């Protein structure tokens, strides 16, 4: 059978250009990473052909012997990696994983208490534009204005006032650790279920470098493609007592056939994450993000909370004269991909924003360490400060390309 390389030149050209973009530029979006060749091969394997509605040994289709083995292996490895009682590896994405929890344990109109989107939460935690805010009633907690740290007193106050069915502890752009024990105490006081959404820090948690939510939460959802470095997808970890309901809400509740190619790739990613080298990788991710924050601050920029406990730095541009939109564009012209991001109490609308979120998982996967982070930090500062000067941006991009050429990642895919 022909490969797309010869069978579909238009598609080949698009994929080739994307390989070159990922190879030659610095990918610093905090929710992205470079999956291993093994993970990507598995996503492109024959398991993509298989229908397997149901669960291992309880399928609605024949021919599932091998995909059953794949799913059981993924579950076994995820349990080992996170120490979870029960795991569902079928969610197509992080948002789908959250949806299964909502559908399983809430009725339409029930109240959810989550972190506000503009303080670092996620759309699927009750935002009005998402199913979670359209079907359910949402209340939001946030961070304190003086510290930008989560205001746990406010969480407790809101929980006692609104008695939410579900409290969500999780974020997309909060650079600090979470106190899951405190969330549990609050949930117990308000009679709420507790969901930790670890889509972002799951790799750090797997490596023991961020607080572990499993002992404290009823449900833990995650994506598998961010710090965890697997294929795109979601997982749900839960106490055994909740597994029957959750499994039935994933299938048939919200999804049809599971993506068995992604599930087998998740199994590979979990194996990679169980290896000691993954712990070293995550340690370096943290060293790199902390160093980056230091460099940016030394050069006069503010970072929300004055640093990070995670793989991301949230640059606060309010005092700099630049907006998040300006900075994202300047960095992009310099070959550094990031995203503009609202900061808490942002004076700018979300489409402009006063922040930029910068993550180190991708560059660390490429093997970049402190020495390279120093260069990257300088390039970020130079690019943002010279956002109107194309000459400087072109020179920055050249240095970015040179740096990337010393840390090849997918070059062999072009052969």
Peptide bond connecting 268 to the previous residue in cis, omega within 30 degrees of 0: no
53 is catalytic: yes
Residue 316, φ and ψ in degrees, nearest 5: -105, 110
Is 307 buried (19+), middle (13-18) or exposed (0-12) by CB count in 10 A? middle
Q: How many Cα neighbours within 13 Å face the side chain of 180?
A: 21
Least Å from the CB of residue 405 to ligand PLP: 30
Question: Which range, of 59-67, 195-203, 258-266, 291-299, touches ligand PLP by CB under 6 A?
Answer: 195-203
Q: Is 198 helix (H, G, I), strand (E, B) or coil?
A: coil
Least Å from the CB of residue 229 to ligand PLP: 14
232 is catalytic: yes
Q: Is 237 in the site for ligand PLP (CB under 6 A)?
A: no
C-alpha span between 349 and 190 (Å, rounded) = 34
Residues forming beta bridges with residue 143, ordered by sequence position:
150
Q: Is 124 in the site for ligand PLP (CB under 6 A)?
A: yes
Structure tokens at 396: 């920055």
Q: Is 63 helix (H, G, I), strand (E, B) or coil?
A: coil
Q: Is 199 in the site for ligand PLP (CB under 6 A)?
A: yes
Least Å from the CB of residue 382 to ligand PLP: 29
- Footprint on residues 8-47 left by ligand PLP (CB under 6 A): 31
Looking at beta carbons only, is 140 or 171 nearer to ligand PLP? 171
77 is catalytic: no
Contact 45, 261 (CB under 8 A): yes
Give the pairing type, strands 355-359 and 339-341. antiparallel
Give the residue, chosen from 93, 247, 289, 310, that forms a contact with ligand PLP under the rule CB under 6 A.
93
Contact 208, 202 (CB under 8 A): no
Closest residue (Cβ) to ligand PLP? 94
Catalytic residue among 71, 197, 326, 328: 197
Looking at beta carbons only, is 174 or 301 nearer to ligand PLP? 174
C-alpha span between 200 and 222 (Å, rounded) = 8
C-alpha span between 192 and 185 (Å, rounded) = 10
Q: Is 255 in the site for ligand PLP (CB under 6 A)?
A: no
184 is catalytic: no
Looking at beta carbons only, is 282 or 379 nearer to ligand PLP? 282
Say how far residue 116 (Cα) sits from the centre of its chain.
17
223 is catalytic: yes
Q: Is 254 in the site for ligand PLP (CB under 6 A)?
A: no
Count the residues of the shown chain that bind ligand PLP, applying the rule CB under 6 A. 14
Question: What is the DSSP secondary-structure string of 348-407?
Answer: S-TTT-SEEEEE-HHHHHTT--HHHHHHHHHHHHHHHHTTT-HHHHHHHHHHHHHHHHTS
Question: Which range, of 9-17, 87-95, 134-142, 393-401, touches ligand PLP by CB under 6 A?
Answer: 87-95
Give the residue, chosen from 120, 164, 170, 344, that forms a contact with ligand PLP under the rule CB under 6 A.
170
Least Å from the CB of residue 234 to ligand PLP: 6
Least Å from the CB of residue 31 to ligand PLP: 5
Catalytic residue among 223, 254, 310, 323: 223
Least Å from the CB of residue 256 to ligand PLP: 17
Q: Which residues would be at the binding site for ligand PLP (CB under 6 A)?
A: 31, 93-95, 122, 124, 170-172, 197, 199-200, 223, 234
What is the set of active-site residues? 51, 53, 197, 223, 226, 232
């Amino acid at each position: 059978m022909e490969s797309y390389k010869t069978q579909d030149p238009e598609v080949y050209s698009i994929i080739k250009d994307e390989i070159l973009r990922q190879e030659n530029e610095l990918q610093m979006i905090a929710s992205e990473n470079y999956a291993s060749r093994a993970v990507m091969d598995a996503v492109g394997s024959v398991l993509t052909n298989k229908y397997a509605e149901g669960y291992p040994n309880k399928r609605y289709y024949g021919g599932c012997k091998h995909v059953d083995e794949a799913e059981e292996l993924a579950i076994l490895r995820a349990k080992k990696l996170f120490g979870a009682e029960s795991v569902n590896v079928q969610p197509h994405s992080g948002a789908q994983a959250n949806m299964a929890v909502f559908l399983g344990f809430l009725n339409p109109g029930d109240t959810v208490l989550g972190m506000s989107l503009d303080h670092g939460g996620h759309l699927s935690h009750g935002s009005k534009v998402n199913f979670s805010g359209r079907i359910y009633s949402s209340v939001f907690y946030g961070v304190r204005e003086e510290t930008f740290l989560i205001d746990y007193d406010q969480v407790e106050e809101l929980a006692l006032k609104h008695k939410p069915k579900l409290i969500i502890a999780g974020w997309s752009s909060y650079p600090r650790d979470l106190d899951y024990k405190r969330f549990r105490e609050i949930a117990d006081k308000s009679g709420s279920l507790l969901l930790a959404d670890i889509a972002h820090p799951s790799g750090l948690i797997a490596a023991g470098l961020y607080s572990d939510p499993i002992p404290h939460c009823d449900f833990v959802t995650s994506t598998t493609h961010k710090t965890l470095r697997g294929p795109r997808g979601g997982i749900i970890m839960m106490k055994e007592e909740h597994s029957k309901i959750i499994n039935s809400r994933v299938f048939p509740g919200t999804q049809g056939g599971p993506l068995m190619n992604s599930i087998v790739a998740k199994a590979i990613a979990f194996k990679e994450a169980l290896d000691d080298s993954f712990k070293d990788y995550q340690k370096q991710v943290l060293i790199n993000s902390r160093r980056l924050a230091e460099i940016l601050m030394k050069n006069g920029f503010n970072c929300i909370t004055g640093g990070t406990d995670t793989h991301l730095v949230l640059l606060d541009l309010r005092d700099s004269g630049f907006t998040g939109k300006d900075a994202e564009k300047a960095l992009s012209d310099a070959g550094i991909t990031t995203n503009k991001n609202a900061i808490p109490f942002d004076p700018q609308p979300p489409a402009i924003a006063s922040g930029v979120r910068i993550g180190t998982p991708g560059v660390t996967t490429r093997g970049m360490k402190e020495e390279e982070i120093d260069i990257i930090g300088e390039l970020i500062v130079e690019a943002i400060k010279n956002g109107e000067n194309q000459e400087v941006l072109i020179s920055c991009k050249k240095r970015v390309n040179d740096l990337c050429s010393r840390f090849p990642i997918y070059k062999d895919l072009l052969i």
